[in-house]
Structure 1
Amino acid sequence: MPELPEVEAARRALEEHCVGKKIRRSTVANDSKVIDGVSPEDFEAALNGKTIVAAHRKGKNMWLQLDSPPFPSFQFGMTGAVYIKGVAVTKYKRSAVKDTDEWPSKYSKLFVELDDGLEFSFTDKRRFAKVRLLDNPVSVPPISELGPDALKEPMTEEEFYNSLSNKKIGIKALLLDQVLMVLLCRCVWI
């Protein structure tokens, strides 16, 4: 399952290699389970000819800011991943596309070719991801419902201590409490 650091690695790779480039063409899979709320043709029309201005992330959600809305938004699900042809997106697992690999992958949900010839693809083998076109990704769920981001908004030790000091629960229950684990992660990333 893609975790927050993998989504951040994808965001950074797209930011480094794709920002400032124009989308020459795109191909969107005819998969309404993953491509949410828009036809492949309308999705492609919304992207083609636009310039990528920035790559953003909050939690495990990522979106590309284009020179005008709507913006493609990605919720990675269980097996969502970004691949950039010729670029290793992550250093700790196989993420570079080799010349002998099928490209784009048969699991590609969104394929994009940029004006300089660079290509990237969002894939999802298990089809739990959601790819949407949104005018303002931070204003709608799931992004609008997220709390502070563990990598961007770390808490201090004092904030962490104060958040736990009134808890009267056992360690196992504490470790299984996802809200408290998010707080812990925010503190650890300082």
Structure 2
Amino acid sequence: MDLLERLVTLFAENGYASVFIALILCGAGIPLPEDVTLVAGGVIAGLGYANVHVMFAVSMVGVLLGDAGMFLLGHHYGARILQWRLVARLLTPARYAKVQEKFERYGNRLMFFARFLPGMRTAVYITAGTTHRVTFMRFFLLDGFAALISVPFWVYLGYFGADNHEWLVMWIRRGQSSLWVLGGILLLTVLVLWWRHRRRVAAGHAPSTEA
């Protein structure tokens, strides 16, 4: 957890702006774990250096801007972006082909699930832009919905565990699997509500049997 401690020190000294910039850089694919960055933001709020609700808002904006930037770069430059030196290190031709194959298999759902796949997010978002198979608004909604699950989870985890290092470390290690469970529950809830809505609409349009 040396990285977490270094980030906590950096964020405590520089405030919200440092968290925001770090999350933009996470979206750009630098080797800085987004989950640890979010937890560090929550920890400094728990230690009294920031307001946790403001930290959540700042983190959401930073995460979404970072993701949107990668999508828009891919959308604007297309496959030419693969020739950029920094992008080429992150997204090799073989990896690009693999992500495209996953798009063929999972469709737009991949953009939602990518948020819960560390190391895959940036590659997926760039590829989503280059393929021109999805509009920016759909990308933003899918990514935003996923971020509404992951971002508060990590930020508030750091906030509540700021004074209990062992508990915090345990939940960071468990966090990714816990996010999958939480995401599954929320997705199932949305599907059930959608199905009930469809039934009500169908019942409302059913022909009357009265004489």
Work out whether the TM-score is over 0.5. Answer: no
Q: Does 1 or 2 have the higher relative contact order (CA < 8 Å, sep 6+)?
A: 2
* Structure ranking higher in helix proportion: 2
TM-score, normalized by length of structure 1? Answer: 0.25
TM-score, normalized by length of structure 2? Answer: 0.23
Structure index of larger Rg: 2
